[in-house]
Structure 1
């Protein structure tokens, strides 16, 4: 097995107490520091991009000197409402469109993995490639997402930061030639560091990495991820201070009767979470299939349409955390809150679905806050004496919406708990988040992240080996030797064929050699066990109850195995891709096992 460079260095230095766990801890510290500074840098680039696209947002302009750029370190960019009146209306449409064009060109010619919200690509690298991510992806994702958000695109910064942190972890792992297990751990370290530095929430960062990215709560991964998350949070606090990503009110629960109301909020969030995910991917399909433009032009169209929405509802500009603050503190009218639920979903799906670069975590928080705010006003009206302010319901709904979209309830609970710092929110938050996940997962199989992978034929729940098997084609494992018999052959001839050919299955063909059915040895035994065997029984009479299911050479082994299991058979006919009547060969369960063995061997080779 190959030794990592760092392990060899420790060996040469003869460090007392050296163990295999020490090098990965050192690398995790490096990932945490670099990802922490990467998150700070990314947020600063977003502010710089916003200032370039909207110079009206900078007091005194940006042409005098570059002090404005330096002064933005450690400070948040001004919200759109602070400079909206200073910007010509056509800027609001033109700037996102220009940003979309730049991003489209960067992604198309630079790194296709930087398209979209980023987290699914990290999950795919962990599941199929052992955590290997191209180094250039992190750089292009940083610039592309900063331009998307800075120009006004409705997207979040958390997804890109996760991909940037994961890219840093992957690059360090590749450079030091760590094992595949350690490589995946370092990717998790980078993802945890990104979330922790963004939200000032180290615990949520750890759980996000283990619950969403790795899908593993093993002790071996836990310690390095904790170290990375803590260091990234420390760097973030050093630059931005010890304050949450947005202003959160003190939570209050007026009556324990409210615990019967929060489940309703969880159901609503679960339903709308499914709606958001469905609309997002419908938007992707629309731009991919219906919009007949070059791929690098499509983000410009989506961004321009988003700009038209911003003209009427500027609250959906970019990340939109200032609007969350308004809802939490009961400073927004219910009519506007209701409108922003639909508008934010539309703006985000236009930005991301058209090919822009940005996350969906922050939009989920935004939509959840609006749902909770509107729900809070409603229950206040219906039960004025026993319900808290709308802001309290908005705060709980942010977690419930994130839980419903990501299928990560522990992450959602902890991130809102760390943002609020109030233990009293735990009971309603746990209730709403868990119910939201139950509702969403019952209606729809995939989360906002895994749906993207499922559409590519990758099911994370199946495990690494099964996903590798999806890359194996039937044509590489099938046998072209098959046993056929005419469909009108008498039963005596069928029995003789089974005896002489030592076959488990006979495939029935017609006069044109077209496949019309099959007979298994069990079918014949069943006929022979009957008391009155009809002498004139034909092959097609025996096969009449057998459902003819076949596979084609271009299908993958995983899908073929699924068909075998559903039918309870050990062999399937292989037919032509162009004509399912033309028999080409057969695929046996032993062929599937051979593919599985190769998948396991491939995984073991990568892990060494």
Structure 2
């Protein structure tokens, strides 16, 4: 089944994006990486103990190729599998896979990745650090809101359509069309890279982050497929752009900061998110992004993009979470209480 999953997700993502669904591409890349790893695993009859290493390596290859960030990809494959635990024996295979995927995408296929540039970084001070901690809290809560809305839409749509996925997709398509007519623009359909890049240099509509959040939650919650990293980048960057009116920080810095902090809160991968900021923004604002990632990681609690993500250790003793639970189980317990 997993061997077929990659090509099916790729096709599904292509169809979703080309017909106006709000999603990203990296989901297909990561799924295909995992699918190839599973095919290799079955063909060579790899030992059970090495199966997870192969899957992590496949995920790393997909991420490194999708974002042009091979160092981030290496850690992302290790970090996203389990919350609170890194399997260091996977470091070498994940690193090799991520760099190979990156170089094949760029050198063999000629893929050009988006360039997002921070023009100015605020001077480091106690006041600036206090501001970025508060901002990280805002961005992390936005990521929590997205995750809960997306999972809620999925649960409700499955309940009332009795898991008839054709019906879910049909209704989801109607809702997306209606939302598009309501906002009067196609900016929130597809990947939305134009507005994402625009948010670094010019003001964007103040409601853009909320519109993209709703479009993506409906698209994926109603059964369409695709990645969630780029939509979270969009939400965080445009929210940072909106906060430029109220916070005395450079616009490009706020957009970049919001992009990374929001992604980190949803993905629960603080190390990978920090490395992604270093690779994407040439190491600018290293202190701020370090604070952003770990603040967002803690404040977002045990919500996340992937319900199957296993919690090997709670983020804090303040959270009443048992080791070995999944994000899905924690969310269900929170709603029942």
TM bracket (short chain) = 0.7 to 0.9
Q: Deviations over 1:14-50 (max 9, x none)?
A: xxxxxxxxxxxxxxxxxxxxxxxxxxxxxxxxxxxxx
Unaligned runs of 5+ in 2: 314-322, 327-337
Does residue 332 (structure 1) correspond to residue 209 (structure 2)? The answer is: no
Is the Cα contact below 8 Å between 2:147 and 2:303 reproduced in 1?
no
- Structure 2 CA distance for partners of 1:247 and 1:172, relative to 1, 3 Å: same
| Aligned residue pairs, count | 313
- Structure 2 CA distance for partners of 1:332 and 1:134, relative to 1, 3 Å: same
Of 18, 33, 49, 1:150 maps to: 18
Q: Which residue of 2 aligns with 1:222?
A: 91
Is the Cα contact below 8 Å between 1:341 and 1:370 reproduced in 2?
yes
Does residue 453 (structure 1) correspond to residue 308 (structure 2)? The answer is: yes
Aligned ranges 1:175-194 → 2 under 5 Å: 175-194=43-62
Aligned ranges 1:17-28 → 2 under 5 Å: none
Is the Cα contact below 8 Å between 1:207 and 1:410 reproduced in 2?
yes
DSSP 3-state at the match of 1:379: coil
Q: CA deviation at 1:265?
A: 0.8
Q: CA deviation at 1:214?
A: 5.5
Q: CA deviation at 1:207?
A: 0.8
- For 1:418 and 1:167, the matched residues in 2 are separated by 26
Of 151, 172, 175, 1:281 maps to: 151
The one of the two structures with greater contact order (alpha-carbon pairs below 8 A, sep at least 6) is: 2
- Structure 2 CA distance for partners of 1:424 and 1:416, relative to 1, 3 Å: closer
Aligned ranges 1:468-479 → 2 under 5 Å: none
**Which range moves more in the overlay, 217-226 or 186-195?**
217-226
- For 2:114 and 2:108, the matched residues in 1 are separated by 13
What TM-score do the two structures reach when normalised by structure 1?
0.49
- For 1:243 and 1:251, the matched residues in 2 are separated by 24
DSSP 3-state at the match of 1:453: coil
- For 1:431 and 1:219, the matched residues in 2 are separated by 24
- For 1:414 and 1:251, the matched residues in 2 are separated by 19
Q: Deviations over 1:177-214 (max 9, x none)?
A: 11122221111111001110111000110111011125
- For 1:217 and 1:415, the matched residues in 2 are separated by 17
Does residue 238 (structure 1) correspond to residue 118 (structure 2)? The answer is: no
- For 1:467 and 1:461, the matched residues in 2 are separated by 5
Q: Which residue of 2 aligns with 1:406?
A: 267
Runs of 4+ in structure 1 deviating by more than 6 angstroms, as ranges, are none
Is the Cα contact below 8 Å between 2:312 and 2:324 reproduced in 1?
no
Choose 1 or 2 for highest CA Rg.
Answer: 1
Aligned-residue RMSD, C-alpha? 2.4
Aligned ranges 1:230-269 → 2 under 5 Å: 230-239=99-108, 244-254=113-123, 256=125, 257-269=127-139
Q: Which residue of 1 aligns with 2:187?
A: 315
- Structure 2 CA distance for partners of 1:226 and 1:288, relative to 1, 3 Å: same
What TM-score do the two structures reach when normalised by structure 2?
0.86
